[in-house]
Amino acid sequence: TTQGSQQTQPPQKHYGITSPISLAAPKETDCLLTQKLVETLKPFGVFEEEEELQRRILILGKLNNLVKEWIREISADIDALCVAPRHVDRSDFFTSFYDKLKLQEEVKDLRAVEEAFVPVIKLCFDGIETIPEDLDLRDDSLLKNLDIRCIRSLNGCRVTDEILHLVPNIDNFRLTLRAIKLWAKRHNIYSNILGFLGGVSWAMLVARTCQLYPNAIASTLVHKFFLVNPSDRYHLMPIITPAYPQQNSTYNVSVSTRMVMVEEFKQGLAITDEILLSKAEWSKLFEAPNFFQKYKVGLVESKIRILVGSLEKNEFITLAHVNPQSFPAPKENPDKQAINSKMFEVDMKIAAMHVKRKQLHQLLPSHVLQKKKKGRVSHDVGDWVSV
């Protein structure tokens, strides 16, 4: 509509439960930074090749056909026997009952085979229930009469569909999510089972950032992601899924993992500040930190998440930082002592003895002694060795 010389724009749709922080459109520098971000992400393999995408589509098509064939097999013929009182004749079954079946809307392909070895009426009753291709799983009415396990099975797809429905621009959301997930993995804070955030939680945090900056593109959204989230964690870290039944996707987050993630958010904000000011490149954001330079290194056998909770109860421990990655020993020229360390078992007792060399055959295998003879220098007869 036009009022005088001014033209009124229709109000932009709001996403989420609050109004957006900014409706600013991307600038030329934002577009350039986004292109640089894409180029930085490519070497990390976060984008699917066209060949791989077509392969996934082919596999999904085959699975879809298998499901449809299985449904048809499950809905195979039902053999029903009609037991009637003595005064009802077989001819009545093929006449009056046949006519009654014909009047039913659910009955199709009705035919009587009266002269068969076993006389029978064949029909298709109520057809086979089919699922339309455009079925919207976000419809809560689909959950009616389903048990809790079926609802949980649908929840993953429903949450994904709901997230995509709640973001202003799906392409910007996906590119931003690729960058944030790569950053989280490189900084060792991508693990739901160890108390950090999993894929759904990261997706919801990115989606919320997209809602607050609906017109922004990926380079701006990555920066705003680090700006919004550390300041928005008044509770431990509740991130609630958008589809029914709503669940806290960060149930496993502990005090320590929350502290680690918040610090990583702050560091990410500082780095993206530098990137926007052309003082750093995107590659700096995805540099993997050296975990072992931060803490003393130890080893636990299992139940790491429970161990973290136990450590947090100790008043002298302020932070228990778990690294989700494993670090195998180097395959080329491994340290000999590292090989021997793999031999230790739980509750193994270690004894240190000082014996004469001629007594070694009682403690060591012969092939080990042969190696020692080849590589040793001459010693006096009375040499002592420690084992």
Binding residues for Mg(2+): 77, 79
Binding site per annotation, positions for ATP:
77-79, 181, 190, 199-200
Residue type, 151: I
Residue 344 tokens read as: 């230790």
Give the distance from CA 310 to its chain's centroid: 27
Beta-strand relationship, 384-386 and 120-125? unpaired
Interhelix angle 28-41/218-228, rounded to 10 degrees, is 90
Cross-strand bridge partners of residue 240: 248
Strands (E), the chain: 2-3, 6-7, 107-113, 120-125, 354-356, 384-386
Q: What are phi and psi of 122, to 5 degrees?
A: -105, 140
- Alpha-carbon distance of 109 to 112, in angstroms, equals 10
Task: Assess contact for 72 and 128: CB atoms under 8 A.
Answer: yes
Q: CA quadruple 267, 272, 274, 279: dihedral positive or negative?
A: positive
Count of other CB atoms within 10 angstroms of residue 31: 13
The H-or-E segment that residue 235 falls in is none
Binding site per annotation, positions:
77-79, 181, 190, 199-200
